[in-house]
């Protein structure tokens, strides 16, 4: 590495740190500063952030648009609910382990089928398979509670009982628990996409034929990416379950997959942190739209149409444009 | 015997409506290579408009004959919405990656679903007057609603008309040429933009027709479009995306499977449908009648 490149690398590291430190401080301080409403909204944003980050390993880095990620998110949440119902388990760590294991298995099976295709067929196939799970959750009501869903009590964290004040639990202890996991997930995903494996995925995305010629086993790489992506979504689903307190078929239905795609595009799927920004922005957007009007779908749909027409690279794309303009002005 | 016949007729009824929805979806994909996620919502527009129009006409004291004339209102409304949407919202996306096409139609789906809520409120609308007016016919010792037979007839007529339109008219030739090679058709002097808008309008008209004819038998409810879309997906995946013959065969397969499923294994009936779609995609990704 030439000294020039080294300098550049150090500088970009500094820029990242300059963003990361205040952001981390803000997230750490949030529960003590902004009150429970915003804390919970941020908490939802963080949970969806993990899921969309996983989703974007497929869309942004492998070039595969899944329209069925509700399946893995929902499977994560339902695993928690069924563990409570049938095994009377109350430990969050067991929930997470169980959910990641189950969703990894499901995405291995589904992925094995789906990665044989790309483009539109990949999208339809993922959608059809996710609908299989949805219809099972919908019809086997004696197991899954049907449309009523399954209740999920507050779990114990690291062996500590949740206590009686649910609000206090969610807005403080559970918030920090999720925040730590969120940081771990972001770090793991960062390592994945910057590893040789991640570079290979990007090579597949950019030119499938060339990637194959230099010896990358395309299908296997796509399958691994699919499983990792599904497991992240499953982990997010498991974290979402105690937060929402109820697992219903609504999180398995394909329109929820559409919302996941929406979040990724809103933040900008060409960017590493785009999905996180998108998940946070979408959560706030939806919370306010739902509070403001019963016609929130109309508002969000309009946002989506305008977004893809005018701002296809999402919020992070806009940030990049503004940053480039500022640099030139200086 | 009667039992089988009635179930068979029910399956045909279901297949006709499915064909109207899926045929339009497939036509649109075949011509402009866009998978319209809002297609089910156009079916819902048809259902709501007809229910409203029939209700309003009946309230004004219109005779039964007039009510029948009002029935296609939904198809016309859906066609009008389609004709307005294609040049404004979809055209900018033909040259962009598929994810954006899917997303813009997903946004449209959200907008249309809520607009229906905004215009007609949260309660189901029905046009039961027409259904009653048709009465019933006897099949053996059982009674079967005559209206259902009408819907089956409409489905068959629509399929025949569409086939004649596409394989027996000059417009059909141009449409097929554009679908096979848009650039070449354009170089030979075909106004591709006009073909696109016409094809999209016909597709939406069919979806609207499906909605219009389904609504006397069952109410127009919010969310019916989203549900219909996924089933139409299953139909076109089995038959082959972009193929009308495929949509026809797929609709029959799904119609009969569903009727059997509801009678014999209601719990997994939907799951079986989606699994069959997945299996077809794996074995024959182009579908039964698709071109590769």
What's the CA gap between A177 and A92, in Å, rounded? Answer: 10
- Inside any domain, residue B43: yes
A180-204 burial, b at 16+ Cβ within 10 Å, e below that, comes to ebbeebbeebeebbeeeebebbebb
Give the pLDDT of residue A227.
94
Spatial CA neighbour of A47 closest among A77, A21, A26: A77
Range from A23-32, A291-300, B36-45, B87-96 carrying the lowest mean pLDDT? A23-32
- Which pLDDT score is estimated for B291? 60
Residues in chain A: 330
pLDDT in the model for residue A3: 64
pLDDT score, position A24:
80
**pLDDT under 70: residue ranges of chain A:** 1-5
Which residues of B are less than 8 Å from A265 in CB distance?
A: 99, 103
Asked if residues A69 and A259 have their Cβ atoms less than 8 Å apart, the reply is: no
Domain boundaries, chain A: 37-253
What is the distance between the alpha carbons of residues B17 and A316, in angstroms, rounded to a whole number?
A: 44
Give the number of beta-carbon pairs within 8 Å between A and B. Answer: 115
Give the nearest chain A residue to B93 (CA atoms).
A309
Check A113 against B268: CB less than 8 A apart. no
Residue B202, in any domain of the structure: yes
Asked if the Cβ–Cβ distance from A135 to B270 is below 8 Å, we say yes
Contacts of B237 in chain A (CB under 8 A): 124, 128
Q: Do A304 and B269 touch (CB under 8 A)?
A: no
Task: Among A117, A128, A261, select the one facing B103 at the smallest CB separation.
Answer: A261
- Rounded-to-integer distance, Cα B20 and Cα B202, Å: 11
Contact A139 B110 (CB under 8 A): no
The count of domains in chain B is 1
User: What is the distance in angstroms between the Cα of A170 and the nearest Cα belonging to chain B?
Assistant: 31
Q: How far apart are CA B59 and CA B53, in angstroms?
A: 10
Average pLDDT, integer, range B58-67: 80
Taking an 8 Å cut-off on Cβ atoms, the answer to whether A308 and B271 are in contact is no
Percent of chain A with pLDDT over 70: 98
ipTM: 0.82
Distance CA A201, CA A222 (A): 7
Nearest to A304 by CA among B165, B206, B38: B38
Residues in A touching B267 (Cβ below 8 Å): 139-140
Query: What residues of B are in the A interface, CB distance below 8 Å?
Result: 35, 37, 89, 92-93, 96, 98-100, 102-104, 106-111, 113-115, 117-118, 226, 230, 233-234, 237, 241, 266-271, 274-275, 277-278, 281-282, 285
Residue B229 is part of a domain; what is its CATH number?
Answer: 1.10.3470
How far apart CA A81 and CA A90 sit, in angstroms, is 10
Residue from B174, B153, B158 nearest B22 by CA: B158
Find the farthest-apart pair of alpha carbons in chain A and give their distance in angstroms, rounded: 66
% of chain B with per-residue pLDDT over 70: 99
Minimum distance, in Å, between the CA of residue B102 and any CA atom of chain A: 9
Percent with pLDDT over 90 in chain B: 17
Structural domain that includes position B160: 2-283
In a domain, B265, yes or no: yes
Cβ-Cβ contacts under 8 Å, B275 against chain A: 132
Task: List all residues 6 or more positions away from A162 whose beta carbon is below 8 Å from its beta carbon.
Answer: A153, A154, A155, A156, A169, A173
What confidence category does residue B292 fall into, taking pLDDT thresholds of 50, 70 and 90? very low
pLDDT digits (tens, 9 = 90+) for B218-255: 888 888 888 888 888 889 888 888 888 888 988 998 88
pLDDT, position B89: 85
Classify residue B135 as exposed, middle or buried by CB count within 10 Å of its CB (0-12, 13-18, 19+).
exposed
CB-CB neighbors (< 8 A) of A140 in chain B: 267
Digit-coded pLDDT (tens) for B2-33: 778 888 888 888 899 999 999 999 888 888 88
The answer to whether A90 and A159 are in contact (CB under 8 A) is no
Who's near B111: CB < 8 A, 6+ residues apart?
A297, A298, A301, A302, A305
Asked, for residue B124, whether it belongs to a domain, the answer is: yes
Do residues B273 and B261 lie in contact, with contact meaning Cβ atoms separated by under 8 Å? yes
Residue-averaged pLDDT of chain A: 85
Q: How many CA atoms lie within 13 A of A50 on its CB side?
A: 30
Dump pLDDT digits (tens) for B114-141. Answer: 898 888 888 888 877 777 777 788 877 7
User: Around A83, how many Cα atoms within 13 Å sit in the side-chain half-sphere?
Assistant: 25
Question: Is the alpha carbon torsion for A154, A156, A158, A160 positive or negative?
Answer: positive
Among candidates B92, B115, B285 on the partner chain, residue whose Cβ is nearest the Cβ of A121: B285
pLDDT at residue number A2: 61
B100·A123 Cβ contact <8 A: no
Distance to chain A for B107, nearest Cα, Å: 4
In a domain, B288, yes or no: no
> What is the per-residue pLDDT for A313?
85
The DSSP secondary structure of B132-192, one letter per residue, reads HHH-EEEETTEEEEHHHHHHHHHHHHHHHHHHHHHHHSHHHHHHHHHHH-HHHHHHTT--H
């Amino acid at each position: 590495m030439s000294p020039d490149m080294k300098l550049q690398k150090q500088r970009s590291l500094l820029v990242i740190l300059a963003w990361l430190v205040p952001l981390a401080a803000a997230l750490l301080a949030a529960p003590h500063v902004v009150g429970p409403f915003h804390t919970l909204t941020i908490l939802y944003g963080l949970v969806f952030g993990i899921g969309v980050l996983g989703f974007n390993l497929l869309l942004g880095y492998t070039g595969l648009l899944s329209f069925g990620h509700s399946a893995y998110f929902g499977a994560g949440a339902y695993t928690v609910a069924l563990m409570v119902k049938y095994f009377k388990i109350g430990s969050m760590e067991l929930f997470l382990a169980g959910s990641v294991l189950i969703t990894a298995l499901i995405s291995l099976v589904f992925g094995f089928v789906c990665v044989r295709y790309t483009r539109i067929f990949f999208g339809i196939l993922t959608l059809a398979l996710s609908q299989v799970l949805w219809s099972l959750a919908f019809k086997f009501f004696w197991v899954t509670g049907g449309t009523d869903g399954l209740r999920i009590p507050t779990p114990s964290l690291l062996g500590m009982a949740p206590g009686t004040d649910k609000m206090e639990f969610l807005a403080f202890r559970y918030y920090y628990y999720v925040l730590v996991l969120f940081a771990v997930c972001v770090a793991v995903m960062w390592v994945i996409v910057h590893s040789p494996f991640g570079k290979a995925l990007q090579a597949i995305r950019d030119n499938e034929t060339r990637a194959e010629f230099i010896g990358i086993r395309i299908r296997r790489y796509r399958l691994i990416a699919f499983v990792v992506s599904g497991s992240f979504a499953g982990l997010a689903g498991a974290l979402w379950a105690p937060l929402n307190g109820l697992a219903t078929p609504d999180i398995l239905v394909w329109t929820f997959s559409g919302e996941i795609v929406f979040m990724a595009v809103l933040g900008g799927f060409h960017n590493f942190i785009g999905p996180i920004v998108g998940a946070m922005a979408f959560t706030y957007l939806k919370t306010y739209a739902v509070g403001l009007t019963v016609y929130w779908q109309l508002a969000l749909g309009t946002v989506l149409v305008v977004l893809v027409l005018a701002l296809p690279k999402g919020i992070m794309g806009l940030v990049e444009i503004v940053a480039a303009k500022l640099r030139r002005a200086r | 015997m009667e039992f089988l016949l009635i179930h068979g007729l029910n399956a045909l009824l279901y297949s006709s409506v499915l064909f109207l929805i899926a045929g339009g979806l497939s036509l649109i994909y075949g011509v402009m290579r866009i998978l319209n996620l809002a297609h089910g919502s156009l079916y819902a527009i048809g259902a709501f408009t007809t229910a409203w129009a029939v209700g309003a006409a009946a309230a004004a004291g219109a005779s039964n004959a007039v009510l029948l004339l009002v029935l296609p209102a939904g198809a016309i409304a859906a066609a009008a919405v389609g004709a307005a949407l294609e040049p404004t919202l979809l055209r900018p996306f033909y040259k962009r990656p598929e994810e954006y096409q899917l997303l813009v139609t997903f946004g449209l789906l959200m907008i249309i679903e809520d607009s229906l809520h905004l215009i007609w409120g949260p309660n189901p609308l029905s046009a039961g007057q027409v259904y009653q007016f048709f009465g019933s016919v006897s099949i053996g010792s059982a009674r079967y609603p005559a209206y259902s037979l009408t819907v089956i007839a409409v489905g068959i007529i629509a399929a025949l008309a569409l086939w004649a339109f596409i394989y027996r008219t000059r417009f059909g030739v141009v449409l097929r040429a554009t679908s096979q090679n848009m650039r070449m058709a354009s170089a030979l002097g075909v106004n591709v933009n006009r073909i696109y808008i016409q094809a999209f309008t016909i597709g939406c008209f069919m979806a609207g027709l499906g909605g219009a004819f389904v609504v006397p038998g069952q109410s127009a409810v919010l969310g019916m479009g989203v549900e219909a879309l996924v089933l139409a997906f299953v139909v076109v995946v089995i038959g082959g995306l972009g193929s009308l013959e495929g949509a026809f065969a797929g609709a029959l397969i799904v119609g009969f499977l569903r009727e059997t499923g509801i009678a014999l294994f209601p719990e997994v009936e939907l799951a079986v449908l989606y699994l069959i779609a997945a299996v077809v995609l794996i074995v024959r990704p182009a579908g039964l009648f698709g071109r590769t």
